[in-house]
Structure 1
């Protein structure tokens, strides 16, 4: 210690003194020799505070002059229910296939979703009969350019009945070619509203599919290993030993225009049923879950989850089958059913409020302000009617056919209770999957009608669709309505179409071939960590991925 003190004194003497001035640099280098320990701690604390304050000032200035913006990076995982089979616009028919196809393939034209990327730079629709398409600069995932030849090949393949495309009936009404400027021209034989739907579908690459035999296209492995044009390309579709897909992984397409997607990777895990899907989401093993059965998933809404609502153009109704029960041929009897059913209670109890009660025959997306509505609930009047006019038939109990879904079972229970209160006995049973004859064997059928974004009314109410396998579930056959529906198919004038739809709705409400109940509300649950999610408020649920290129997880700072 003495030696240390002696050395300290020698250093002090060696340092030139500058009275009444700031310490020199040489002095500051040895300041620790002059300070007590508590003084050293104090100076250190002051330095730390100054450093923190400086960093804070820099950070504040940066935040004041910049804003967070989406950046590349991160992944997104969703659980889906259903076995993916066709990631291909030629064959995609199920909700799962259509949703994944919308990610991998761009639509030809942006008809229903303004601002969404598409293959066309410009689409000109003339009288719902002709579409003139100028293609944009787009690239297939294998690097080949998208050309008019691809569009022609796609439409012509749909028109080949051997291929078995679900779009055959629509595509066969059009011709396709190119003009002298290289634009694609699609002509319908007559004006058809569904032309908008056709040109909103994806296009397949001719150079990938041309060598595949038409009868083998639907089973070809390229349906699960597609070469698409969307913001993401398929990396793999992993299947189990039985061929059921368990996982579909995709990655951002680097050459996508106008820019690459923000997310690096998408992963879709396939669950066996709704219960497994909900468990995967509840335990946060995935970021998102789509549900068409919202009554079963209310508990999934947590602080870190955002619920998006989508109202599809679907009307769920209780259809009468007068061919199976003669008592249902009477219009007054059918209207008495409408008096007995309390739509608001049906939505409240069976759907837990996740639906829109409806008294019109058509959804709001097809007919916005209908002047004619089905009779509202009057239980006393319905009870009095059935007491005076009891249903007579082979049995005293009506049979009700429903799909094998929990929501429909809940709906059937609620409606059965309401009808029992007016003296009508009903017993429900599940309709055999894909069994059209089973549907005809019930007095009543509880089903939904999906009118699509184009409003396809004829397929549900034209008499030609009332046979086995047709979608005219009430076997409704009115020649006057058939005429209106046929005129609707050919008249492109908006005012005339609105007037025709009003006539059709008014007649359906009067005839009451069904009790029109509600429009369902589907829910899309997404983790709050996924930003930029935008879903259509009204539309097909498979459209929820149209803007997935804008979804992001990672952020960066950019100048204001």
Structure 2
């Protein structure tokens, strides 16, 4: 009896096991069907964002940088007491709050606490003092030092409070505090030579590596004091050839390209995997003319060049209709902008002006620019336009760093080899000083500033200095109106156009913004 009972139990167990396996197989088929028909396969989140830009980077020293691409990389790693929102208005960053005395001579900042630099050093008032003293004392830091020579004294009432007193009123000083990024005091004291190559800041990303001409990588700083989820690594690649940038975006080799070449916009707009953004800007495109040397020391020659060049055609041909002609020395988005009577193309008038200047048959000259394809196209356009009035233009293109060295390496106007330079300039909409003084004040000749036209008008200098020393906005507007009228008439530039910025982003990328100045902000970049 015991054996028969055991046999029955065994059969029951086997039957149950078979039934369970069958049920399990049915469940597996159901799950498999759901995966194939309804669910997408899961993939690991990407950890590296590649950004392809049009030019190389010059320097990572925030106190001596003038090019947009270098500034774009720095903005993800470095921060100032103040900063700027998407419209160019001043906001608090490392400063929790600030106040300005009634006479606009004393600026007091209350600082955020608990912030660390990427090397572990504490951010505090002493760190700010070390940075500002570096800008004040190091004469090689010319590009971003405006206003700091006016500092009379720096006081530290407490660990997280700093007071700056000026010798005289300087109306754009808050903007200068926003532009001046704060780097680790340890790097300033112990490794100053490394700052242009690998800066140490407080930003969302820390420096990774820089292989000149190939790439520059930044890495997420996991102890960042700010909020937000960000991609682990961002690699910037200089790709001057516009077609190559577009190919990188379409294949997914790059998650972001800036700018999208005008001629390729329709091509990328039709790709469902790409988002194309267009942003009005403050970027003024122009040809800087060396007014110090013959034949360009004669304003009639410079005016002739402006009448020879068709600005509407420039927008249509070079920018594919993106932008507007530059009808002043600043963009229409910049405060105190005043529209001027534009130099409408008039070939006969241009020839007559050249004849009056003593060049009835024209002359030979050269134009400099970087190697990216958009710049080459612009220089070729200028070359063709000036040919109509008998001026033969030789194009000389150089890698960005070499070009910068050639231009800003000139210690005096006599040293300058530059004749014409195809270039652009941008400023925050609220910063008319930065849109004018570095470009037209006689104190801003290279290497001290970007007045590469060597424009020298003492009355314009006086108006600029006065505008910077007062807080009366109506008077400032009057002065900047006179500045615009005078400089535009003197024509130290060929006034071309104001860009509309176009950049492309893969559809799985978010948090990338281009500011009206042309700066690429990737601080909050991530994959969706």
TM-score strictly above 0.5:
yes
Deviation at 1:323, TM superposition (A): 4.6
**1:66-465 equivalences in 2 (<5 Å):** 75-80=48-53, 87=60, 89-90=62-63, 92-111=65-84, 118-126=93-101, 129-140=105-116, 141=118, 145-161=122-138, 164=141, 166-168=143-145, 170-174=147-151, 175-179=153-157, 182-200=160-178, 201-206=180-185, 208-209=186-187, 211-212=189-190, 216-219=191-194, 223-224=197-198, 227-234=200-207, 236-237=208-209, 239=211, 246-254=215-223, 256-257=225-226, 259=227, 261-271=228-238, 273-274=240-241, 277-291=245-259, 294=262, 299-301=267-269, 302-321=271-290, 323-326=292-295, 329-331=298-300, 334-367=302-335, 369-379=337-347, 381-382=349-350, 385=352, 389=355, 392-393=358-359, 396-405=362-371, 406-421=373-388, 423-430=389-396, 433=403, 434-436=405-407, 444-451=420-427, 454-455=431-432, 456=434, 457-465=436-444
SS, match of residue 83 in structure 2: coil
Distance 2:131 2:89 in 1: 23
Flag structure 1 segments of 5+ consecutive residues without an equivalent. Answer: 1-31, 33-43, 57-71, 555-560
TM-superposed CA distance for 1:123, in Å, is 2.5
Does residue 489 (structure 1) correspond to residue 468 (structure 2)? The answer is yes
- The aligned runs of 1:2-81 (5 Å cut-off) are 75-80=48-53
Q: Which moved more, 1:446-455 or 1:284-293?
A: 446-455
What's the secondary structure of 1:179's corresponding residue?
strand
CA distance in 2, matches of 1:322, 1:111: 34
The 3 A distance-change label for structure 1 pair 278 and 160 is farther
Q: Residue 368 of structure 1: CA displacement?
A: 5.1
| Count of residue correspondences | 474
Q: Distance in 2 between matches of 1:474 and 1:189?
A: 30
Whole-Å Cα distance in 2 between the matches of residues 210 and 304 of structure 1? Answer: 44
TM-score (norm 1): 0.71
Q: Is the 8 A contact 1:138 1:229 kept in 2?
A: no
RMSD across aligned C-alpha pairs, in angstroms? Answer: 4.2
Secondary structure class of the residue paired with 1:197: helix
CA distance in 2, matches of 1:330, 1:95: 30
* TM-fit CA distance, 1:502: 0.7
Question: Displacement of 1:100 after TM fit?
Answer: 2.2
